[in-house]
Amino acid sequence: MVIGGGATGLGVALDAAARGYKTLLVEQSDFAKGTSSRSTKLVHGGVRYLAQGDLKLVREASLERGLLYRNAPHLVKNQTFIIPFYNYWAMVKYTMGLKVYDWISGNLTLGDSLFISRKKTLEMMAGIKVEGLLGGVLYHDGQFDDSRLAINLAQSILEHGGCAINYIKVIGLLKDDDEKINGAVVQDEETGIQYNIKSKAVVNATGVFVDDIIKMDELTSKKTICVSQGVHLVLDKKFFPSDHALMIPQTSDGRVLFAVPWHNKVVVGTTDTLIEKASLEPKALEREILFILETASLYLTEKPQRSNILSVFAGLRPLAVPKEGEKKTKEISRSHKIIISASNLFTILGGKWTTYRRMGADVMSRIEKEFNWVHTETPTASMHIYAYANGVNWSDPLYFYGSDSARIRQRMNGTENEWLSEPLKIYKLQVKWAVKYEMARTVEDVLSRRTRALLLDARESIRIATQVAQIMAKQLNKDEQWVKQQVEAYNRLANNYILN
């Protein structure tokens, strides 16, 4: 039994189901409601970790990047990035460093890095600051749609005979006479009904909430994670009209800044702010917004203003509590860690979206070892993710449905091919599809994680919320009162993604 339906939990549950174990994953809210829908959308080895000398993590992440690119080609795009140089030392350092980055991924590389002249850099990156530009380096990484991958992973779990359910919260752990964990008490968040579920192994994959579950096991346990917030701003493509992504390796606070083309918009971020208390709906701080706007303005010819922001979203990094001497959150290793309690609660901490598969495989191998079960090799390295499709046309608005897009198109007859939002290229049929085949239960599920309307343009998403609720109500047999409640709740939430 896996607690948590983010990247980590989905990776563990898919590995377990694929190895042939009876598997259940429960998620208290929607799949990827937490950090896993709020990433920078990169499937990457991590140029920053290379600069920090963490070669082991870069190697692991680079291999995983290559595998995910092979196994989910409908969601992971080979994206070119350009680092523009305004000083000679950085130019030498990053051009050479990126050769190591190419080499480290072996035959799973996405393409070689290349030094490009000043002229070529300006040709390839319209909108970049001209003054003082010396040249650039182009390299390859992956770019993906995080919550869509989460939904496809949940569907893959079902395909492999497992079960993944949203809106089921773990509220307690069950123990046998020897004080060993043998299941959990869960609550259906829609009906309030509670169930006792027995399981031979229980995995805590709850991201920034792992300590809440650890406390259910052992009240006096020490804190295992600290929480670091990262914010992104979404802008119109006109601020950065390039097909290549921009990477600034060292901002004034020593972090990396990305401007990445995504669904015909640009995602710019991120920050690294230590936060006291984790929440499922973290809010961007004013200083984080200002920092991103100011830093982006240093490199873009058309300077974005607050009023140009289409959506602002914040996510929380679950980082292992730093060791002595590691003070800053950006210095804490992003590699994952497995902790096993005396009563056999398996907790997985840290990691990255990119390495979710490796994390899942490591947890399952560890469980087999601890319980002396026969070791089964994980089949996930070469396993296609649900909706696998090759040769995707990235400008097709339905591209992220992969092999399902043909089934969706077949149904697009009569009124079924009406736009729900023409600017965001969302059809009404996608709402029905999300309810019927993708376990969407609320307006937010549809607008935030089945489609990405909330993150792409929060105001436009509010405009279509009532229509979404009405379509869903028909599918789910809900009344007008439900529609009203859903729209009110959605508007309250979406207002946090808008800057006034």
Ligand X SMILES: Cc1cc2nc3c(=O)[nH]c(=O)nc-3n(C[C@H](O)[C@H](O)[C@H](O)COP(=O)(O)OP(=O)(O)OC[C@H]3O[C@@H](n4cnc5c(N)ncnc54)[C@H](O)[C@@H]3O)c2cc1C
Binding site for ligand X (CB under 6 A): 3-9, 26-29, 33-36, 38-42, 44, 169-170, 205-209, 230, 270, 280, 315-318, 351-354
Minimum distance from CB of 260 to ligand X (Å)? 9
Four-residue CA torsion sign, 464, 470, 473, 478 = positive
C-alpha dist (Å) from residue 204 to 316, 339, 346, 414: 17, 10, 6, 46
Minimum distance from CB of 296 to ligand X (Å)? 16
Minimum distance from CB of 288 to ligand X (Å)? 10
Q: Which is nearer to ligand X, 57 or 426 (CB)?
A: 57
C-alpha dist (Å) from residue 36 to 25, 279, 367: 16, 13, 24
What is the rounded distance in angstroms from the CA atom of residue 444 to the CA atom of residue 463?
13
Q: Which is nearer to ligand X, 44 or 432 (CB)?
A: 44
For residue 66, the cross-strand partners are none
Q: Which is nearer to ligand X, 28 or 121 (CB)?
A: 28
Q: Which is nearer to ligand X, 170 or 392 (CB)?
A: 170
Nearest Cα to 198, choosing from 186, 183, 188? 183
How does DSSP assign 276-343, residue by residue?
SS--SS----HHHHHHHHHHHHHHBSS---GGG-SEEEEEEEEEEPPPTT--SGGGS----EEEE-TT
Burial of 499: CB neighbours in 10 Å, binned 0-12, 13-18, 19+: middle
Q: Which is nearer to ligand X, 314 or 483 (CB)?
A: 314
Q: Which is nearer to ligand X, 43 or 471 (CB)?
A: 43
Minimum distance from CB of 282 to ligand X (Å)? 9
Q: Which is nearer to ligand X, 28 or 311 (CB)?
A: 28
Q: How many CB atoms lie within 10 A of CB 369?
A: 10
What is the rounded distance in angstroms from the CA atom of residue 362 to the CA atom of residue 430?
36
Q: Which is nearer to ligand X, 71 or 121 (CB)?
A: 71
Q: Which is nearer to ligand X, 39 or 71 (CB)?
A: 39
Q: Which is nearer to ligand X, 60 or 460 (CB)?
A: 60
For the chain, what's the residue count?
A: 500
For residue 81, the cross-strand partners are 139, 245
Minimum distance from CB of 384 to ligand X (Å)? 20
Minimum distance from CB of 160 to ligand X (Å)? 19
Minimum distance from CB of 256 to ligand X (Å)? 10
Minimum distance from CB of 320 to ligand X (Å)? 12
C-alpha dist (Å) from residue 34 to 229, 368, 477: 12, 28, 28
Nearest Cα to 462, choosing from 443, 441, 437, 482? 443
Amino acid (1-letter code) at residue 301: T
For residue 426, the cross-strand partners are 421
Minimum distance from CB of 2 to ligand X (Å)? 9
Minimum distance from CB of 278 to ligand X (Å)? 9
Q: Which is nearer to ligand X, 40 or 113 (CB)?
A: 40
Four-residue CA torsion sign, 3, 232, 75, 97 = negative
How many helices and strands (H and E) does the chain possess? 15, 21
Nearest Cα to 489, choosing from 466, 467, 459? 466
For residue 185, the cross-strand partners are 172, 196
Minimum distance from CB of 428 to ligand X (Å)? 28
